[in-house]
Structure formats: C-alpha cells, structure tokens
Amino acid sequence: MEKRRGWMMAILISLLAVAGCSSSETSKDEDEVTLVYARGVDTTVGNEKLIEAFEKEHPNIHIEFREMPSDSGQQHDQYVTTFSGKSSEIDVFDADVVWPAEFAQAGYVMGLDRFIEEEDIDMSKYFEGTVESVTYSGRTWAMPKFTDAGLLYYRTDLVDNPPETWDELSDMASDLNGQEGTKFGYVMQANQYEGIVVNAVEFIHAYGGQVLDENGQVVVDSEEAIAGIQKMAEIAQSNYVPNNILNFTELETETAFIQGNTVFARNWPYMQSSSADEERSKVVGDVGFSLLPSGDAQSASTLGGWVTMINKYTEHPEEAWEFVKFMTGMEGQKISAIEGGVAPTIESLYEDESVKEASPVFANEAFVETLQNAVPRPVSPNYPKITDIIQIEVSKALAGDQTPEQAVRAMQQEIEAVVNDS
C-alpha cells in the first residue's frame, strides 16, 4: 500500500508540474502580441531600423509591417474601406496631416489624450503647427511623426541674398530671368491638385488671412485672403513663369530647378537632395534655400508631413500606444531622421549633432524657423471636400477666369455649405 501510495503521489506531482509548465507557457504566449503597422512605401532603411529598435526594447511586442501604396489618395481610400467596416486587422498606421479630423469624426481612430496624460507627454516640445494638425474638437487624435514645410530655393550664383517679400521676389525674378541660361524667374505648384491648395494657403496666410479660424468658422472671404490670392495670380500670370505653370506639380518644379531653368522655386525640403545629386543636377554647388517670402503679415509655409494614429478597433490598445509613443518620441524620431532622412517634429532634435549631420536641411536655421511658423491646411473632418473647392476656385483665379474677389466669395459660400451640412 505504501509503495502504491508513493507511486500515485509521484504521478500527481508530475502532473501538477506539467500543468504548471503548461500554464506558464500559456501565460507567456498571451503576453506575446503582434501589431500590424501600415504606412506608405519607404525607399530608405528608416522604417526597418525603427521597427528593429522598438522590438529590441519591447521583446514581447512584434511588428508586422504592411506596406501601403505610395499615393496618399489611394492609402486614404484603403483605410476608409478598412475602418468603416470596423476591422481590427490594422492596429497602427501613418496618416497624412490633413486626415486626423476626418478620421476622428468618422470614429475610425482612438483618442490619445488618456495616454498622453498618463505618460505626462509634453506636447509643447513638438512644433506648434504639427500639434494643431492632430487636434480636433479639443482632443488629440494622433502623434506628430515627421514634418515638412515649403522652402524657397534659389541660385546662389545669381542671387546674393534671397528676397524677403513676395514683391521683392517678383522684381528679382523678372530682372534675373534669362541669366546664366535660365528660362524662368520662378516656378511653383499651380496645377489643379493638392499642390495648388498648399501654395494658396501660404499666400493667404502671408497676407494675414485664413480659410477656417480656430473655431472652425469659414473666414476666407476677407481683404487679407483676397490680397494673398491676388499676389498668387499676379505671379502665375507674369512673364517670368513658364507658359504652362498651371500644369506644374512638384515634379515639374524639381525638374525646372535642377536642370538650371529657373532662378527661384518653391518646393519641399527633399529637393535639396536632388539638386545636390551630380548625376541629375546641373546646379550642384549653386543652390541655397530660405524662408518663403513674406506678404503684408508674415512669411507662411504650409505644413506637410505625417502623423501616427491608432485604429479604434485594435485589440491591443496599450501595446499600440507603446509603439506610437516610441516612433514619435525622441529616440524614434532620431532614428527616422538619421536613417530615413525625414524631418523631426520635436524641435530640440535639431540641436542634436547626429541629426544635423544627417542632412544639410536639418542644420539650417532657416528651415527650423520655417517649421516654427508652418501653418496647417484647414483642420476639418470635411477636408476632402474643402480642398476640392479651393482647387477649383483658385485655379479659375490663376487662369484669369475670375477675380480674386470672386474666388474668395465662392470659396466662402461653398465651404460654408459643406461645413453646415456636416
């Protein structure tokens, strides 16, 4: 009997041990989480290095990367299809700076204020414009990841000091047009697409106007906005821009500048790299950049860039926040700047020597000042409709088919109708 009792006890102990191991392994498995992270095509190693660094710090959280189309419009539509179906297949995703209000109102994304307060995240360390772009109805819906802002590029072999005002630019572009083999004095994005909105917002704000005020009210029908559109139209109709300026996007702008065909150009920071590429550029060593010229009120550069959001229907909100916090925090943004060449949204990173060494743009005081003054496009859940209205009405003004007064009056009425219907 004693032998039998001992034998049974040994079996029981063994079973308990196995059960304990199984329970431990199950618990361990439950702690392992895989997040699906979506963003557009990245031609650098920045995204890869970012995920690698996060997983090293968080070994229980694995990141499955889902590459989205490079075209932001296609990305937008795929996200809308996914999230409108309340799918949890994507946990974290990067979004264009103009999407947060739309996605917030639609109920696609998770508000981040609870996380920000619990972690005591200081949002004042981010550029003001980037914070405005992720704020809607008094709440924060995304974290600023990397930013962009328009710059004025110029030929240093032709220009000693860049123009400080739009009037000065007009005079210099007219006088210098044709020198050193140039064909134009100035080029910008004036085609009927998102680029014309970016440029129009810069002119409107430079002369003291706005499209929407801080309360979301439509205020574009103003003397200041008229002055901005008037100056933009004067430039588009001048003899120092290409005859087909109304067909110009970033691509045509870049080509004209790096081929040595224009004295001045408005474009994003990426053009600094292409203008210094000896295989592509004819102006290597003769390129400078500065703030965009001022109007009657200020120098204004429209905010570009991307933010990071969390799907409202994610099954792993805490882990998703850890990933968002890392990517948009100091360490993550430093990796993105050095390895991916994108501009940080945290101002103090521009004092970091390794970030400065990553790109001449990051070390340039004019670029940092541009980011400090960058203005977001209208923050509204109706932005897709608003941008269509601006594109159409500004295009008519630049083509001379209507006056700037008629353009802003039409924008006021049409945008008000969209806002009031929502």
Structure tokens belonging to residue 139: 């709440």
Spatial CA neighbour of 227 closest among 291, 166, 290, 164: 166
Spatial CA neighbour of 289 closest among 380, 225, 369: 369
Cα distances (Å, whole numbers) of residue 416 to 30, 195, 221, 382, 393:
51, 22, 11, 11, 14
Is the full-model pTM beyond 0.85? no
Superfamily of structural domain 151-300+382-421:
Periplasmic binding protein-like II (3.40.190.10)
For 175, other C-beta atoms within 10 Å of its C-beta total: 13
Whether the CB-CB separation of 152 and 209 falls below 8 Å is answered with no
Domain residue ranges of the chain, discontinuous segments joined by +: 32-148+304-372, 151-300+382-421
Residue pLDDT tens, the chain, 422 long = 555 555 555 544 454 444 454 444 434 445 899 999 999 988 789 999 999 999 999 999 999 999 998 878 889 999 999 999 999 999 999 999 999 999 999 999 999 999 999 999 999 999 999 999 999 999 999 999 999 999 999 999 999 999 999 999 999 999 999 999 999 999 999 999 999 999 999 999 999 999 999 888 999 999 999 999 999 999 999 999 999 999 999 999 999 999 999 999 999 988 888 898 899 999 999 999 999 999 999 999 999 999 999 999 999 999 999 999 999 999 999 999 999 989 999 999 999 999 999 888 899 888 898 898 889 999 899 999 999 999 999 999 999 999 999 999 999 999 999 999 87
pLDDT recorded at residue 28:
44
Domains 32-148+304-372 and 151-300+382-421 share a fold: yes
Q: How far is CA 401 from the centre of its chain?
A: 32
Read off the amino acid at residue 357: E
Sign of CA dihedral 91, 95, 100, 102: negative
d(CA 379, CA 146) in angstroms, rounded, equals: 18
pLDDT recorded at residue 82:
97
Angle at 230 between CA 229 and CA 232, to 5 degrees: 60
d(CA 337, CA 61) in angstroms, rounded, equals: 23
pLDDT recorded at residue 42:
87
Give backbone dihedrals phi and psi of 22, rounded to 5 degrees, phi first: -60, -40
pLDDT recorded at residue 19:
47
**Rounded-to-10 torsion of CA 250, 281, 265, 354:** 90
Strand pairing of 139-140 and 92-96? Answer: unpaired
Spatial CA neighbour of 158 closest among 262, 72, 54: 262
As a CATH number, domain 32-148+304-372 is 3.40.190.10
Question: DSSP string covering 187-249, please?
Answer: E---STTHHHHHHHHHHHHHTT--SB-TTS-B--SSHHHHHHHHHHHHHHTSTTS-TTGGG--
Structure tokens belonging to residue 89: 């297949």
Spatial CA neighbour of 251 closest among 202, 193, 337, 206: 193
pLDDT recorded at residue 366:
84
d(CA 25, CA 23) in angstroms, rounded, equals: 5
d(CA 159, CA 403) in angstroms, rounded, equals: 33
